[in-house]
Amino acid sequence: MTITTPGLLKTSMNIRIEPTREALGKAAATDIAQAIREELLSKPTLRMIFAAAPSQSEMLHELIRQPGIDWQRISAFHMDEYIGLPERSPQSFGMWLRDAIFDRVPLANYHLIEPGNKPEKVCEDYAQKLAEGPIDIVLLGVGANGHLAFNDPPADLDDPLFVKVVDLDDVCRQQQVDDECFATFEDVPTKAISLTIPTLLRGERLFCCVPGSFKARAVRDMVHEPVSGNCPATALRTHPRCMVYLDPESSAELERE
């Protein structure tokens, strides 16, 4: 169902709660596809940023099947990447996105974050690519600790950088194990490259998919806590065109009127 405000939830966010994780993915994909088609009516090309996580799987699965999307007019970026993984590691977010969507649709191009041995230089180069034009659409999720991309709390909501090297906190690293991306906590890298929160909020339209019980506390804080770096996802409340998609598990702790 669609939650209107003030409505059933005590929030000013645009939130849609679907009965299952699969329905969440389909609803989000349908809305995203419509947004892409609308934007391409007035723009020659689009630039999109994609999150890479199991929480995005159902949405991306449905998105690549949506009709009428001229993918050849779309350039793709992603929002974070581990530092220190072997080349072409299956845990790499770039590889994950290639398998999930980048290699499955005829994009104009896609730009991978490849940290290599000079992650700081990679941050500068990727920031330059992002700054070359507007960001039209951002597809993102929320971490178990409320992070956006790899901006763990306490995050800088006014970060002057576009892209930077970050340290991953223990909650974030444990989430990667819980998501079955890594076998053990020790296997999860401690550093990553991440787009900053102001960079994500530069997107003209944001679509945020947050399924699963692991995210219930983060969703509650995102909606009800003051906007601050203590829960980076609260920054989404400052964006005028952000749509959030939840399922019964992730919305379980929301305060209802």
Please list, in sequence order, all residues whose beta carbon lies within 8 angstroms of the beta carbon of residue 185, skipping any fewer than 6 positions away: 170, 173, 174, 177
Strand, helix or coil at 243?
strand
pLDDT of residue 143: 95
pLDDT of residue 180: 85
Q: Are 210 and 143 in contact (CB under 8 A)?
A: no
pLDDT of residue 171: 86
Q: pLDDT tens string for the chain (257 positions)?
A: 344 333 344 456 899 999 999 999 999 999 999 999 999 999 999 999 999 999 999 999 999 999 999 999 999 999 999 999 987 888 999 999 999 999 999 999 999 999 999 999 999 999 999 999 999 999 999 999 999 999 999 999 999 999 999 999 998 899 888 888 888 999 889 999 999 999 999 999 999 999 999 999 999 999 999 999 999 999 999 999 999 999 999 999 998 65
Residues 144-183 have pLDDT tens digits of 999 999 999 999 999 999 999 999 999 889 988 888 888 8
pLDDT of residue 5: 37
Which conformational region is residue 119 in: left (phi greater than 0), alpha (psi within -120 to 50 degrees), or beta? alpha
Domains of the chain and CATH, by start: 29-63+72-246 (3.40.50.1360)
The total of other beta-carbon atoms located within 10 Å of residue 120's CB is: 12
